[in-house]
Structure 1
Amino acid sequence: MDQKIGAQSLRFAEAPFIVSSASIVGTKEGQGPLSDEFDMIGADDKFGQDTWEESESALQKEAVTLALGKADMKPEDIRYIFAGDLLGQNIASSFGLMDFDIPIFGLYGACSTCGESLSLAAMCVAAGYADHVVAVTSSHFASAEKQFRFPLEYANQRPLSATWTVTGSGAFVLAGHQEREHLSVTPCVAITGITTGKIVDYGIKDSMNMGAAMAPAAADLIEQNLKDFDRKPEDYDRIITGDLGTVGKEILIRLLKERGFDISNQHEDCGIQIFDDSVQNTGAGGSGCGCSAATLSAHYLKRMERGELKRILFCPTGALLSTVSFNEGQPVPGISHGVVMEYVERKVN
């Protein structure tokens, strides 16, 4: 069976499963609408560490440990880790995960990294290259502000279009189709397909308006997924973007309507779900690698496990800038990666 469909997608002949996941967030996220759904909320945003970067590493380490525990697995049961973050040279991932002593692929897709890591992890187990793998991403408000904008002590003013980088991490244990019957925890969420995104550049140069920079990439990805899988928006219970916020959501809906697709009834955004701006003063919403990862784990996967959602398209978005490119006057291109997840009934013995 040819698993390649359309121009940019794969439909897995034997779909891999998400065995378990874990979400860990900071104090601000723990005060938001999803507070009761996260696995762990930090008592403070340092997570017992001395620096913000070490704090983010601790997030990843704890998220992977918790996800492995839920799956009743040990580090030696995992063949590969697919991991990434927003910091230079992926230092949150490398320093946070090295003690697991597991072969690792370091990834960078900006805030779309959760979609990228899940896509590559699913491809790996679906092809038979590994029985069990882990996908994990993270972000931290303070480390991201320090690297991309200003140190917190500067107390700069934020425009209303700005999103708030989520302090959080999400980790996911994946297993191949053939492993389902041998697991101590029977999974019910399968990754049935993926759509790999392209870099889309509309010439946006405002680093404080990530939603506008990333929305065109999300529109391109969603349109391509619908065409490749020959589906309509209503074939998905939810079409979930990662970090567009209120500004990017409006642009996304408009761009897709211009192309003949109305997703307004299906669309939700993790950055809008994770905060309540009227109470928390977070501007346009949440962003960062940890935003979509923690929200997917805490909220959407749990809804799928309860059978409330049968099929979703998860497509986090990333703004591909660095301090170098921004200071040299380059625009902010975007990218999005799509992961199709479907509910599968658990077998009753």
Structure 2
Amino acid sequence: MTHNTPLSPRPLSHLTEAAQRRVMTLRALREHGVSAAVVNERCRPGGPWQLLLPGVCLLHPGPPTSDERLHAVLLYAGGDSPQIPAQHGALSRGAARPGPSSVSGPPVVVPVPAAGHCATAAQTADAMITGLAALTLHGFTGAPSLRALDRIDVLVPRVRRLRSTGCVHVVRGQQLPEPVEITGLPVAPVVRALADTVAQLTDAGVVRRLLVEAVRGGHCEATAIVRELTQARLLGRPHVVDAVDTLLAEGRALAEGLLYDMVFRYRLPEPCWNVDLRLPGGTHLGGVDAYWPEQAVAVELDTRVPRQDEDARWCEYARKREALEGLGITVVHVTPAKLRASLEQQAAIVRTALMTAVEREPAEYVRVLPR
């Protein structure tokens, strides 16, 4: 079957029998030959359809499933509708099959697209699920279930003329991120969904739990979260600042755990952990996360985040590295993201630095003290 194969007419009632999403915009219904009078008749109290959102119709009488609510929100925000699915589609996970239609009268006939050419709500342009609903879709255990959410946040461009209504809460953004597709839906990436969620929360405990879960669950790095919160101008709120401090401590602890795992899993020599390096005269050179005195190799975790004192922190970091390398000490710079993405590769870099120590000039003697 090709794209040019003509569409065959079927009664619209097949949607109540097919295991597919049954949400359409009024515009799409008109394009399929369903008049406004027919829509009004079917959406009357006790009828087989219902007007779920302005311009968005639910083609069965029962309460919408969570999946149908999400699709309705996207259709309302995007102003478009997927085509009616083929009759033999697979059942959406968690969707309930409604009862038979109670409307009498002639059946409504609409064209049904051929299998393989059905659009989905994920194709809705310039709209994506964000906020708590997005975090739930990303698998956050600290986010409520979709069914428990009274409203669903949808991210749209700032220039869109759209208002919040019903279960829809419109969030506007100057620049929209690239959405992530989850169960066929366009969903904001974790860092953006977190920022949009935090912007609406006042409970420091809830904010802290969500931020920590994002890092502990491997969804994203602490630095990426802080960068997004900074861009959203949320770091001026005291409860957010407190949560970020907890987040950074959690992120560093997880990165240190990965560093320990790297050393032991790939059988690197045991280093001196978390030490300060000083010259014999007492001059402080700085702290490092791991140090091999015999090979004069140091590993430093870079957990810096983009904050107001970034320039000063970078200057201090550069000064320390320059001082250590001037004494003949090899400094291996790693980030939590590098450790998470490729632990074996980072272990190979450290092993190479240890093995090539004999080929370098001997380093200056330094004192190694616990920090």
Q: TM-score range by the shorter chain?
A: under 0.3
- Normalised to the residue count of structure 1, the TM-score between the two structures is 0.24
Per chain length, whose mean CA-contact separation is higher, i.e. which structure has more relative contact order (CA < 8 Å, sep 6+)?
A: 1
- TM-score under structure 2 normalisation? 0.23
